A and B are shown apart, each in its own frame.
Chain A
Amino acid sequence: MQTRRVVITAMGAISPFGRGVNILIESLFAMKSGVTNITALADFGGLRTHVAAVVPDMDPREIPRKYRRSMSKMSIYATLACQEAVSQGNVTEEQLSGGRLGISIGSTVGSPIAIQEFFEDFLTYRSLERMRATTFFQIMNHSCATNVAQALGTTGRILAPSSACSTGCQAIGYGFEMIASGKQDMMLCGGADEFHPLSPATFDIMSAASVRYNDTPHLTPRPFDRDRDGVVCSEGSGILLLEALDSAQKRGARIFAEITGFATSSDTSNIADPNSESIEACIRLALEDAGAKADGIDYVNAHATGTIQGDIAESTAIGRIFGNKAPVSSLKGHLGHTMAACGALETIASIAMIERGSLIPTLNLENVDPLCGDIRHIRQIARADIKTVLKNNFALGGVNTCIVIRGYANE
């Protein structure tokens, strides 16, 4: 198998802080919270969590109707984030349509908003007569990937990984392998999700959603904190343009970072409960893929969503490998859990930390849970010479994913 070095040459983001990578990074470093009280959630019986981080309203009409008509919000987020990356990366029309640029973008499910609209009408009238021709294109599982391809006119490969919270990380990893193997030269990689009550309800019924901070939403989620009480659901899209190093060098592209390793594995011990041994094994696989040793990792960007079990399992695994040497933080306190987008948005933030030589701490981590205590938590903005980052994401269904990212060194 051909192996090529793979670098990141552009990024795009839609987050609860708004549109663009800049506002995402500035808000994270400013220790802002995107979490708010969503009063409409109180209308649903049995739903105890009333907090979420949602994307501010934005006008999608810059996407021509021809493409927008088949998009739900998640595809709009993904398309706008891709447009930012394509613009920043100076990707030409010829490169988009030349067949060597592919798409690897996933979501947790097809659009829950479109699914709800369809079934509300279908079950009310027992009729399909009002079903729009474009509904299916919003519901299908590869909706984001194909809508982006249509809107940008890309003719390369389409991947639409779907592994809930691991989706974005997996999409980057599979894109990385696609380029490394020589099948594509560029891949727009990442994830997107739109907020719907289905997401918090899913966590709430498993007693894994944050329910005690409805009146103080900025204080939750609380990764690794003693008083954490669960996930806060969020939405958005993160996109990275991955590119073969030789391609980037040939066209003189700005190189932000390099992906040096990726691993994904299945945890079959339980479909819902994270397992520290399985997480540890996946991290070790990623390090091996990157040819890195534990002491070569300068920072760990944790998945840590603020659930009781998940944070313990992840910190235990990190502690076994890195002890208390490598600094660790989670960005869920700022962003909430952006679901399929989190792997990509958090990778973008990790690259910003490498570039700035500064670490973003975990928001709302006030009293470290002793059961999460065996690692080096970052409690405040800290200067650091960061060369190599480990990025973790773990999903319901037992899907582990880890990426190793290195600041680009032209050796």
Chain B
Amino acid sequence: MNDQEIIDLINTTLANEFELNIDDMVPGAVLKDDLGLDSLDRVDMVIVLEKAFSFKIREEEAIREIHTLGDIHNFVIHKKQEME
């Protein structure tokens, strides 16, 4: 899976889960302010990403530093590289 495929999977997974417009899924989108995702959604975001990518990220410290969709893209790409 290359980086673009990872980004596409993240975007479609989150768009489906949270009923977001795929056109709004841009790297600079702030999760809370632009996509309307609050603390409850962040819990479910971890669950759907863990399922989509078959990894465990719930305990990762870096999760707490995520503010934008781009942060998620970078986090998951980095995590996938670690796993390889």
Contact = CB atoms under 8 A, between A and B. Distances in A.
9 contacts: A61-B19, A66-B38, A69-B40, A70-B40, A129-B56, A130-B51, A132-B47, A133-B43, A134-B40
A133 B44 contact: yes
B53 interface: no
Interface residues of A, number: 11
Interface residues of B, number: 14
A66 B32 CA distance: 12
B18 A133 contact: no
Contact of A132 (B38, B43, B50, B58): B43
Main secondary structure of the interface of A (DSSP, over half): loop
Interface string B23-62: 0000000000000101111011001001100001010000
A291 to B, nearest CB: 49
Interface in A97-149: 129-134
Given A65-B18, A65-B19, A66-B36, A134 B58 contact: no
Main secondary structure of the interface of B (DSSP, over half): helix
A69 B47 CA distance: 15
Contacts of A61: 19
B58 A133 contact: no
Contacts of A131: 47
Nearest to B20: A65
A129 B18 contact: no
A377 to B, nearest CB: 51
Interface string A267-300: 0000000000000000000000000000000000
B56 to A, nearest CB: 8
Contacts of A70: 40
Smallest CB-CB A-B distances: 5 pairs: A133-B43, A133-B40, A65-B19, A132-B44, A133-B44
Contacts of B36: 66
Given A66-B36, A129-B58, A134 B44 contact: yes
B69 to A, nearest CB: 17
A133 B48 CA distance: 12
A201 to B, nearest CB: 31
Contacts of A134: 40, 44
A130 B43 CA distance: 10
Nearest to B19: A65
Contacts of B50: 129
Given A69-B40, A130-B47, A133-B44, 4 more contacts: A66-B36, A70-B40, A129-B47, A132-B44
B16 to A, nearest CB: 12
A65 B37 CA distance: 11
Contacts of B51: 130
Contacts of A65: 18-19
A69 B37 CA distance: 12
